[in-house]
Amino acid sequence: MFGLGPTELIIIAIIILLIFGAKRLPDIGKGLGGAIRELKNVKKELSSDKTVNKDAQEHNRSIEEPPPSLEAQVANKVLEQVPGVQKVMNAKKKADTVKNLLK
């Protein structure tokens, strides 16, 4: 694992224990686990969205839009989870649909 032996890993663990303390380590681990779980969920949602988008694009060849980048998709998924931002995102989506209908 990256050329690290057991002694190096033990030294790193001791340094982390000294820096953060024994009381905060479970909270840090819980936060890291939640972040990793959330990234996996976003990845699954994005992959399922891509399959749905591919099907929709096959049916709607007349509308040509470049697909959003992965960073933009992840940013949108994260922003949708914040309550205040979610209302703004919904209003923006409604405004975009009205704009597309007026074209």
Question: Cα(47)–Cα(66) distance, rounded to whole angstroms?
Answer: 17
Q: Are residues 45 and 84 in the same domain?
A: no
Return all residues near 4 (Cβ < 8 A) that are at least 6 apart: 12
Kindly give the confidence (pLDDT) of every residue in the chain, 103 residues in length, as a single tens digit, with 9 standing for 90 and above.
478 888 998 998 899 889 888 888 888 888 888 888 888 888 888 777 766 666 555 555 545 566 777 777 777 777 767 667 777 778 888 888 898 888 7
Q: Are residues 76 and 98 in the same domain?
A: yes
Q: Are residues 38 and 84 in the same domain?
A: no
Q: Are residues 55 and 75 in the same domain?
A: no
Return all residues near 44 (Cβ < 8 A) that are at least 6 apart: none
Overall domain count for the chain: 2
Beta carbons of 90 and 84 less than 8 angstroms apart:
no
Place of tokens 């030294």: 11
What are the φ and ψ backbone dihedral angles of 98, each rounded to 5 degrees? Answer: -65, -40
Domain hosting 9: range is 1-62
